[in-house]
């Protein structure tokens, strides 16, 4: 399939949503369209695992909802429309969800690095998500087998939160949820049912 070309003229966010169909991976930055590379197989597999596990956990504890790309997150004050790989929206913020996008920051954003996305995920998006108030930002790099977890502090700046000595990361935003980071680097990835059993969800 041919790569979609970005429009050359600036457009409003509403015009961008009307232009961007479900087969087009793109983001909206200061009125301009930025085409995003399609996901790789490892990226898709990690996203599927995280969405499945997180959604099951969130549903069982009635904490909100989890969404996987493609779904837009609009950061209106920053003139940004981003499409994170995974979003968690807490129950108290579900009113931010519209039919076609999240109108405001998610509570947790997960980006999975692929090809040229590293500088954008660690640079532009890091500062945008911090400024917009995304409370927790996970940055997962399958190629380097590296995962970074950032949480907003009292000064509204990100602190890097390290996994514990056993390699387990415990979310500060999703109550009680923990993740064994080594799961993300297994090939093949662990089965969703096995992870759910370890988390005592089934």
| Whether the predicted pLDDT of 178 surpasses 90 | yes
- Exposed, middle or buried: residue 164 (CB in 10 Å: 0-12, 13-18, 19+)? exposed
pTM, two decimal places: 0.86
Question: What's the whole-number mean pLDDT along residues 46-65?
Answer: 97
- Any domain includes 15: no
State the pLDDT at residue 19: 79
- Any domain includes 24: no
Handedness of CA 71, 74, 78, 79 (dihedral sign): positive
DSSP 3-state assignment of 108? strand
Residue 167: phi and psi, rounded to 5, are 75, 25
- Any domain includes 56: yes
- Any domain includes 3: no
Question: What's the whole-number mean pLDDT along residues 142-162?
Answer: 95
Average pLDDT over the chain, rounded to an integer:
89
- CATH number of the domain residue 124 falls in: 3.90.1570.10
pLDDT band at 42 (very low <50, low <70, confident <90, very high): confident
- Any domain includes 25: no
- Any domain includes 29: no
| Whether the predicted pLDDT of 121 surpasses 70 | yes
Total number of domains in the chain = 1
Q: 110 with 84: CB under 8 angstroms?
A: yes
| Whether the predicted pLDDT of 1 surpasses 50 | no
- Any domain includes 93: yes
Question: What's the whole-number mean pLDDT along residues 182-189?
Answer: 95
Range of the domain at 99: 39-198
Q: Which residues pair with 179 in a beta bridge?
A: 169
- Any domain includes 186: yes
> How far is Cα 158 from Cα 38, in angstroms, rounded to an integer?
28
State the pLDDT at residue 176: 96
């Amino acid at each position: 399939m041919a790569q979609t070309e970005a429009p050359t003229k600036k457009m409003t966010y509403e015009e961008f949503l009307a232009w961007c169909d479900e087969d087009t991976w793109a983001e909206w930055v200061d009125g301009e369209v930025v085409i995003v590379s399609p996901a790789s197989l490892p990226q898709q597999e990690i996203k599927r695992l995280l969405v499945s596990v997180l959604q099951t956990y969130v549903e069982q504890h009635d904490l909100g909802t989890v969404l996987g790309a493609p779904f837009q997150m609009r950061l209106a004050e920053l003139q940004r429309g981003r499409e994170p790989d995974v979003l968690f929206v807490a129950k108290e913020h579900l009113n931010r969800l519209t039919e076609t996008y999240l109108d405001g920051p998610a509570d947790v954003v997960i980006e999975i690095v692929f090809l040229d996305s590293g500088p954008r995920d660690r640079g532009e998006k890091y500062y945008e998500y911090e400024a917009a108030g995304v409370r927790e930002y996970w940055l997962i790099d399958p190629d380097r087998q590296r995962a970074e977890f950032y949480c907003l502090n009292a000064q509204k700046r990100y602190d890097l939160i390290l996994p514990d000595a056993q390699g387990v990361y415990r979310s500060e935003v999703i109550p009680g949820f923990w993740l064994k980071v080594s799961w993300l680097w297994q090939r093949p990835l662990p089965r969703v049912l096995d992870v759910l059993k370890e988390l005592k969800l089934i």
